[in-house]
Chain A
């Protein structure tokens, strides 16, 4: 099995901000901490912690958003430095990359020498003014297969040849992935890879289907990631050459998506997809070549995203906007191509396929607003009215409805449930009964609910009101309450401390004939939704 080196630079995103030693700050992404200042680290906050847990550790912790532009610059700086060690590094995201060990085996005879060289290079690297990567933040693992190498990097281990399988079996089953099948394995009590590999192949196939078999092969070390093939003859490269240097590049990259889509389609037609691409970019000042990996398979959009990330990194690297004169062109080359699995084409296509003009118009809107901005709403079960509508990406929708196989097999809920099935979802206990309110307010709108005596109405822990509501003060005026229903207590996700919610809901009918749903939490009242 192929041997890999996996590199993870922890807390690299923290270098986006100029924090002092005493600052207690964290970068938050999807409610998880992804970057920390030294002060926050010393206070016991760790990477990956949820926002509420981090705040329970340090109540004065300040949160900052991710900064994609600075991240692109940092990733570019790190990539340039690593190129000095080996040009064969492949980048998964800003903090993670891997290296096929055979590519450097002849030069670095010993794995120790390679690791030493990487550590030395990164430690000497000045990310921003005077800021360097701490040696303790560099995690490197070497093992047979990428899964084992990644797991080895958590503990800075070099797993000897032929010992990777034993090592893998000692690890939790989550090292194989993060999806529904893994969740189910854990719920069934199969917590380690070792437990999983001792299952019967027929049982795995019957119970977990194609994905189960894929995980089973990964657990047995029979596949690093899916087996590789060569791109079909005449395919595998897309080039763009600008007539004159281009300064604004986002729209130009998106305009090249059809060209990329043609190349992706060529692979798809022979049952393949690309998992690694090399993007070479030439600008008026510098050139950049980098390999990117996406194990779920690249499609035209994800390739375009990588081109933009790489360009952002190059642009940010240039001091002052005047020094950035523009790009001359780029080339995308498919490096690793694997067999596509789990795609079933419709025999006659789908009747729901949107017309070509509609697809073009929506794609054009997405070019203006950015990747994944256009979406298709669908109804789903939820207790909060705001959660009763989910949004699927337009790109996934039209590719699915046009019977085009999906390029990106991401963890999107859209693919697990078809549009029609979602509409038939059974009722959700605790949700607001029909009719649904026409307006649901995302931003909290404070209202004042008072009784006849003018006191603010309070709901006790048993869901009772001592004084019935008499008036509601909105931002547009005060209305008298004609009738009301409730309050209902809502206590949801009580099993998860981070997302637990407890509040009471009241439906009020007002003297102007309107109906609203109000919500109270910690003694304050909010307008949650309006029947319009």
Chain B
């Protein structure tokens, strides 16, 4: 049986779109850092952040493309996160919600709120403390709703890294040194590159279906 080439192309495009819709859109810089590994919607991603090692830059990069493509993100439990970095990297902050930092809530209350947000937000970013309260439930809800759950695990040293949250994708971030810029007009610092080491239970590369 012969297939009409236009129909075949259309079917192929449809399949690609279907496959892409299951993948969280990521900006070019993050794609470079992830070395071709995609983040599936509905997966749990743990970002291991050592002090000033680039974990928060990675988080900001994660927010950029979804916000530009109309996907809403929520960030909870990261009181020291500076949203202006995400804006600087190109994120549309009008599609990002957070909890008023002036109000104080327990991790348990924030966990309840995060659980509710998974119903309608494409990306939900929470701290390791919140996720650890009931990480299997969070992951199950994210999977069910097709939301990407990003857990930021802060550790003060390599020895202190915690693996308490089960993750589909585990990102260890390192960055090259910051340097003073030659001219203030171009920014006071020259940013080094961030490199990401990925450990995944469900690595998903284009062209290869993850199990």
Contacts and interface: CB of A to CB of B under 8 A. Distances in A.
A373 interface: yes
A78 to B, nearest CB: 28
Interface in B82-133: 82-85, 87-88, 93-101, 103, 105, 109-110, 112-114, 116-121
B134 to A, nearest CB: 15
B72 A354 contact: yes
B85 A391 contact: no
Interface in B39-86: 49, 51-57, 60, 72, 74, 79-85
Contact of B156 (A352, A435, A476): A476
A513 B177 CA distance: 4
Interface in A382-427: 385, 388-389, 391, 394, 397, 401, 419-420, 423
Given A391-B101, A509-B180, A515-B189, A530 B87 contact: no
Given A379-B87, A530-B52, A438 B60 contact: yes
A361 B79 contact: no
B98 A377 contact: yes
Nearest to A351: B70
A485 B188 CA distance: 9
Contact of B82 (A372, A440, A512): A440
B99 A374 contact: yes
B57 A438 contact: yes
B206 interface: no
Interface string A267-284: 000000000000000000
Given A438-B81, A442-B79, A369 B117 contact: no
Given A376-B94, A379-B93, A401-B94, A433 B100 contact: no
A379 B85 CA distance: 9
B85 A438 contact: yes
A476 B157 CA distance: 8
A433 B178 CA distance: 15
Nearest to A361: B120
B188 A388 contact: no
Contacts of A376: 93-94, 96-98
B119 A432 contact: no
B176 interface: yes
Contacts of A530: 51-52
Contacts of A385: 82, 84
Contacts of A441: 80
B187 A513 contact: no
Contact of A368 (B56, B100, B116): B116
| Interface core residue of B52, B56, B103, B189 (most chain A CB under 10 Å) | B52
A364 interface: yes
| Interface core residue of B96, B103, B116, B175 (most chain A CB under 10 Å) | B116
B32 interface: no
Given A373-B99, A435-B191, A438-B60, A514 B51 contact: yes
Interface residues of B, number: 56
B179 interface: yes
A515 B110 CA distance: 30
B190 to A, nearest CB: 9
Interface string A491-507: 00000000000000001
A439 interface: yes
Secondary structure dominating the interface of A: mixed
A18 B18 CA distance: 66
B192 interface: yes
A436 to B, nearest CB: 4
Contact of A433 (B54, B101, B184): B184
B188 A362 contact: no
A485 B94 CA distance: 34
A474 B156 CA distance: 11
Contacts of A352: 94
A389 B79 CA distance: 12
B70 to A, nearest CB: 8
A531 B87 CA distance: 15
A368 B109 contact: yes
A368 B184 CA distance: 45
A529 interface: yes
Nearest to B160: A476
Given A364-B116, A377-B83, A434 B187 contact: yes
B120 A355 contact: yes
A128 to B, nearest CB: 28
A364 B119 contact: yes
Interface of B: 49, 51-57, 60, 72, 74, 79-85, 87-88, 93-101, 103, 105, 109-110, 112-114, 116-121, 156-157, 175-180, 184, 187-189, 191-192
21 contacts: A357-B119, A358-B120, A361-B121, A362-B121, A369-B105, A369-B110, A373-B99, A373-B100, A375-B97, A376-B94, A377-B93, A379-B84, A379-B93, A391-B98, A419-B94, A420-B94, A433-B187, A435-B85, A435-B187, A437-B82, A530-B52
Q: Which 3 A-B pairs have the closest CB atoms?
A: A361-B120, A513-B177, A514-B52
Given A359-B120, A362-B97, A531-B52, 16 more contacts: A358-B72, A360-B120, A369-B103, A374-B98, A376-B93, A389-B84, A423-B93, A433-B184, A435-B88, A435-B189, A438-B57, A438-B85, A439-B82, A483-B179, A513-B178, A532-B56
Interface of A: 352, 354-355, 357-362, 364-365, 368-370, 372-379, 385, 388-389, 391, 394, 397, 401, 419-420, 423, 432-442, 474, 476-477, 483, 485, 507, 509, 512-516, 529-532
